[in-house]
Amino acid sequence: MASIKLTKKQKDDIRKAKVEGKRSVIVEPTKEQKEAYQETLAAVEAEREEITRRALAALIEQRQFELHMAQIALLLCAARQERGLSLQQLSDLTGISRPALSRIESGDNKNPTLNTLLRIARALGKEIVVSLRDAA
């Protein structure tokens, strides 16, 4: 970004206004100062757009992750119900507390460890399949 420096005359005008007890002074910018100001504005706008783009991309990524976790939670809950198990029975099988299992199924625990998910899946007679594919 361009630096905007005051001219000697502008500095003198400011000093004079202070001596006279004025609380404000209007300083007319030079052509160079106006250009530097416009360059600074353009740089700030470009940076703002980049920050907005990155923030939006991060938000989309977070929402996609949350959607995947909600799908996993629904699948685990459906598998538990399909097996006719209560949360307490699943807790007994996995060694994971009933409240922790409830948080996973309800989506309150948005980031359970892979090990935790594997323990639950095994107890339900299921396996977790992870695959990689080309991004869209």
Domains of the chain, residue spans: 32-123
* Between 107 and 116, residue with greater pLDDT: 116
Q: CATH code for 32-123?
A: 1.10.260.40
Q: For position 34, what pLDDT does the model report?
A: 92
Candidates 105, 114, 100, 95; CA nearest to 74 is 105
The secondary structure of 9-54 as a DSSP string is HHHHHHHHHHHTT-S----PPPHHHHHHHHHHHHHHHHHHHHHHHH
How many other CB atoms are there within 10 angstroms of residue 101's CB atom? 24
Mean pLDDT of 13-18: 92
For residue range 48-57, list pLDDT tens digits in order: 999 999 999 9
Mean pLDDT of 23-51: 92
Q: For position 2, what pLDDT does the model report?
A: 63
Q: For position 1, what pLDDT does the model report?
A: 62
Provide the sign of the torsion angle of the four alpha carbons 132, 58, 117, 89, taken in this order: negative
Mean pLDDT of 98-123: 94
For residue range 67-93, list pLDDT tens digits in order: 999 999 999 999 999 999 999 999 999
